[in-house]
Every structure is written in C-alpha cells, then in structure tokens.
Chains A and B, each alone.
Chain A
Amino acid sequence: MHHVNLTAAADAKFQERLAKASGQDVKQCYQCGKCTAGCPIAYAMDEPPNRIMRMLQLGLKDEVLDSKAIWLCSTCATCTTRCPKNIDVAGVMDSLRVMAKQEGRTRALRSIDLFNDIFLGSVRKYGRVHEFGVGMGHNLRMGKLLKDVDIGTGLMTKGRMKLFPSKIKGQGEIARIFNEVYKLEEAE
C-alpha cells in the first residue's frame, strides 16, 4: 500500500465546492468501511471508497482528484445503499469525476474519460447513441483496433448491430441541451 501525506494543508475551498455539488456531508462518515466491503471494484482501486471519504474529510484534493478510484467506480451504488450514515457515496464519486474533468485531471484512467466523451459525442450528434460507432471510436482512439472483434462480428451476424447511425428529428433540441448546459456551467 502506498502512502498518503496527511499533513498536506486541507483545501477548504475544494471541500465546500464538493459539498455544494454533491449535496453530501462527508464529515458524517465514521469509517465503518461498509462502502469498501461491498464495492465490487475496490479490489482494483488505488484508494478504496472509505479511504476516499477519509481523504475528503482531510481536504486532500490532489490525492483524490488524481486517483484512479474515482474513474473505476461503476456507480453501482452499493455503497450508497448500505451507508449507515446515509451518505450518497456514489453521488460523491460522480461529483468528483465532474470536478476532475473540469480541471482536466483525467489522466489517471484515460480510457473511461474517453469513453464518456465518445458516448456523449454520439448522443449530441444523433440524439441517440450509436453503439457500433462508440465501440469503434473507442478502439481507434485507444489504439486497440482488434478489441472485441469477435463480439462485433457475432452481433452483426445475429442482426444486433446497427452499422449506420440514424438521426432523430429532435437532434437539434438535443444539441441545444448540450450547448446550453455547457454554457450555463461555464458561467457558474
């Protein structure tokens, strides 16, 4: 296990922003560890959820926002469901990803951030997600051209692959939602 510098000055602004964005009071956490015990992905995380919660209490912004854990979280919400202090831990993870993204700190696990970008790009362009395009786009950008070729071929022969995207009539409305959301968030 690696070490975390606990004497780094607490970033109070970061704590405030997180509280506002997530609507959660992380100070309520008393380290029972239930979130980590139930987390299906804790085994692969650099900092398991209960440690993230403790680091948030200590205001360790860099350590948290640069962790892989916040990207590995699948938002299954087992932690939220089981927290005896009713903290929406998965909601906190969402807010942390949003903050990390806003600050351009997405290098800890680029593949997941990239997936989100490609997925939302597809929705913005067509109004619905074009699964084949998203899978192909991700493979291309990650330089793994042959990943899941067997699954892709299987889906195609079973008639479960839409090769070409189709635009919905309200695509303009969807694109507008994206534009307005990003404009509003930037202003804030």
Chain B
Amino acid sequence: MRYAYYPGCSLHATAREYDQSTREVCGALGIELVEIPDWGCCGATSAHSTSHLLSVALPARNLALAGSMGLDITVPCAACYQRLRYAQIELEQNEAVREKVARVTGTAYDSKVDVKSLLEVVVGLAPETLKSKIVRPLDALKAVCYYGCLLVRPPRVTGFDDPEDPQIMDNLLRTCGAGVLDWGYKTECCGASMGISNEEVTLKLVRDILRVAEKAGADCLVTACPLCQNNLDSRQTHVNRAFGASFEIPVLYFTQLIGLALGIEPGRLGFNSHFVPTDKILKLIT
C-alpha cells in the first residue's frame, strides 16, 4: 500500500513528533509513504477567510504534484486534510472554479487523486494486520479520543465518520487494547489559531475540553490534529493560570499510542517532546 504523503507545515516544526510517529507506525504496518516532493502550504484558515479562489488554488498545486506521482494522498493533519479534500471536491464538481484555478496556477487540473486522512488509511487496514502486530497492549490505559472540528466537518467534505459522535479513532485504540471512554466533547472546537490571535477564547474552549475529559476519568487525550494537540498541551499551564485550575492531562497523537502498542521505542515516537509530562502514560503501558 503506497500513498503520496502530505505532512503539512506543522509536521515539519511544532508537530514534528506527529510526523515521526506517523512514519514509524506506517513503516511497521506496511503503509509506504512517499513525501510529495516540494509540496506547499494548503493555505489553512487564513486562505479561505480571505479568498475562496486562493483556498482552492494552493491545494490544487499539491493535488497536481500527487497526480504526477500516480498516488492517492494521505494527510495526518486534520486542517490540511480538510483543505485538500475541499479543493479536490471543488475541482471535481465546480467547473467555474476549475477554470479559474487553471488560469491562476497556469496548469489545467485533471488529477484523479483521492485525499484521505491518515486516520482513515490506518483504519482501512484489515483488522488482523494491526492486531497481529500488537506486542504491548494498552490494557491499563483509559483514554478519550478528541477528533476536533476538521476531521469530521462539514460532512459533505469529510464524511468518513459520524460528525457528532465519530467512532473510528475509538475503535482503533480499542483494537490496541486501550480502555476508550465515552465523553461529550469529541468534536468540540479548541479555538485553533485563535491561540495566537485571541487567546482568551482558546483558553476557555480548552478549559472546557480538559474539564470534561478529566470528569470522564481519562488518563490522556488522544488527537489527530497538530493545532488541537498544541492548544490542549502547550496551553494547559495558561489555562491553569487563567482559571485557577490544576490540569495535568497528557495530550498524545493517536500514532504515538499505536506506536507504543506496536512495541516501538517511545523516543522514536517523540514521547520526550510534550509540555505535560507523559511519564505516567509510559509507566501504565510498559
């Protein structure tokens, strides 16, 4: 199984451990990732907040690059995934946009590549493939899966799971033996880039999410988005300061937990790079 791999800007910097753990886990599971050569930024929220055409044209270049590789794309970052997938749909269904994108990029778009989130790709494996490779089951761990916004919404664009109560990450971690808890904040918003531009809003949203996770009895939160991970992990001390709280909940990428279950060394999964210490998680598992 081969995919054109689109890491996105964060995975080369603030979410390096998501990139690391993605490569490790995919390697162990026989998913071959070929990084799209010279990929560019998807434009993220700033593009679609300022120009619809720009928000399709920037991803279109990446779709075309993958098209020339003849491979479907997989994207670990929820935000990049949603932007690439949105562009794919617009280019397929909206002739006027397709024509304008051809004008601004200088190339006609005729790519037939599909865009899948990394979560979908891993879940799409035959269940035995993962099960048979688990050497360190996550039995002692109680986790809540946090999907955030862009993996599941809007369903017209993403559509691979229930937008209100998604299950695929839950099931994936259950396959790894983890005790996955039910909770009501799976798809609430973390405030995304407002962490930078309007932090009070982000802190309130993050506080709410952490509070519900704690009440559910979670040892950790599990994410599939670098922006969610950053806001929930690195801003926990800010939340504690702002609200007089004392949260200390590790926030992990789903690939980091699968990696542990597959017996991969924590260091190779980026376990040394969190803000909230992850020692207690590692102790539960090893």
The yes or no answer to B46 lying at the interface (CB within 8 A) is yes
Contact call A185/B51, Cβ cutoff below 8 A: yes
Contact call A173/B14, Cβ cutoff below 8 A: no
Partner of A160, one of B17, B40, B191, B196: B17
Take A90-B154, A170-B38 as given contacts and tell me if A74 and B194 are in contact as well, using a CB distance cutoff of 8 Å: yes
The yes or no answer to B12 lying at the interface (CB within 8 A) is yes
Partner of B104, one of A80, A95, A119, A177: A177
Q: Which of A28-45 contact B (CB under 8 A)?
A: 40-41, 43-44
Partner of B153, one of A80, A130, A159, A161: A80
Query: How distant is B135 from chain A, measured CB to nearest CB, in Å?
Result: 27
Contact call A168/B38, Cβ cutoff below 8 A: yes
Residues of B within 8 A of A151 (CB): 234-235, 275
Residue interface mask A5-47, B partner, CB < 8 A = 1: 0000000000000000100000000000000000011011000
Contact call A181/B153, Cβ cutoff below 8 A: no
Q: Which of B177-235 contact A (CB under 8 A)?
A: 187-189, 191-194, 196-201, 204-205, 234-235
Residues of B within 8 A of A176 (CB): 104-106
The yes or no answer to A150 lying at the interface (CB within 8 A) is yes
A44 vs B198: C-alpha distance when bound (angstroms): 11
Give the interface residue-count category, chain A.
35 or more
Contact call B153/A147, Cβ cutoff below 8 A: no
The yes or no answer to A84 lying at the interface (CB within 8 A) is no
Q: Which of B23-48 contact A (CB under 8 A)?
A: 38-41, 43-48
Partner of B198, one of A77, A112, A154, A161: A112
Query: How distant is B262 from chain A, measured CB to nearest CB, in Å?
Result: 23
The yes or no answer to A97 lying at the interface (CB within 8 A) is yes
Q: Which of B54-62, B167-175, B244-252 sits within the interface?
A: B54-62
Partner of B149, one of A77, A101, A135: A77
The yes or no answer to A180 lying at the interface (CB within 8 A) is yes
Contact call B46/A115, Cβ cutoff below 8 A: yes
The yes or no answer to B121 lying at the interface (CB within 8 A) is no
Partner of A109, one of B54, B191, B198, B274: B198
Residues of A within 8 A of B237 (CB): 150
Residue interface mask A134-176, B partner, CB < 8 A = 1: 1100100000000110110011001111100000111001101
Residue interface mask A108-136, B partner, CB < 8 A = 1: 01011011100110010001111110110
A88 vs B156: C-alpha distance when bound (angstroms): 10
Contact call B198/A40, Cβ cutoff below 8 A: no
Q: Which residue of B lies closest to A161 (CB)?
A: B13
Query: How distant is A148 from chain B, measured CB to nearest CB, in Å?
Result: 7
Query: How distant is A86 from chain B, measured CB to nearest CB, in Å?
Result: 9
Contact call A21/B52, Cβ cutoff below 8 A: yes
Contact call A75/B49, Cβ cutoff below 8 A: yes
Contact call B197/A155, Cβ cutoff below 8 A: no
Q: Which residue of B lies closest to A163 (CB)?
A: B13
Take A80-B153, A94-B52, A116-B49 as given contacts and tell me if A131 and B10 are in contact as well, using a CB distance cutoff of 8 Å: yes
Residues of B within 8 A of A88 (CB): 154
Contact call A160/B104, Cβ cutoff below 8 A: no
Contact call A127/B40, Cβ cutoff below 8 A: yes
Take A109-B198, A112-B198, A177-B57 as given contacts and tell me if A74 and B13 are in contact as well, using a CB distance cutoff of 8 Å: no
A131 vs B79: C-alpha distance when bound (angstroms): 15
The yes or no answer to A184 lying at the interface (CB within 8 A) is yes
Residues of A within 8 A of B196 (CB): 115, 134-135, 138, 148
A173 vs B197: C-alpha distance when bound (angstroms): 29
Residues of B within 8 A of A120 (CB): 43, 46-47, 50, 54
Q: Which of A51-80 contact B (CB under 8 A)?
A: 72, 74-78, 80
Query: How distant is A129 from chain B, measured CB to nearest CB, in Å?
Result: 4
* With A155-B14, A160-B14, A168-B38 already in contact, 10 other A-B pairs whose C-beta atoms are closer than 8 Å: A40-B188, A74-B189, A76-B192, A98-B51, A120-B47, A123-B40, A123-B43, A158-B272, A168-B40, A177-B58
What are 22 A-B pairs at a CB distance below 8 A? A40-B191, A44-B200, A44-B201, A72-B201, A75-B45, A75-B149, A76-B150, A77-B153, A81-B153, A88-B154, A120-B54, A123-B41, A131-B9, A131-B14, A150-B237, A158-B274, A168-B39, A176-B106, A177-B58, A177-B105, A180-B106, A181-B104
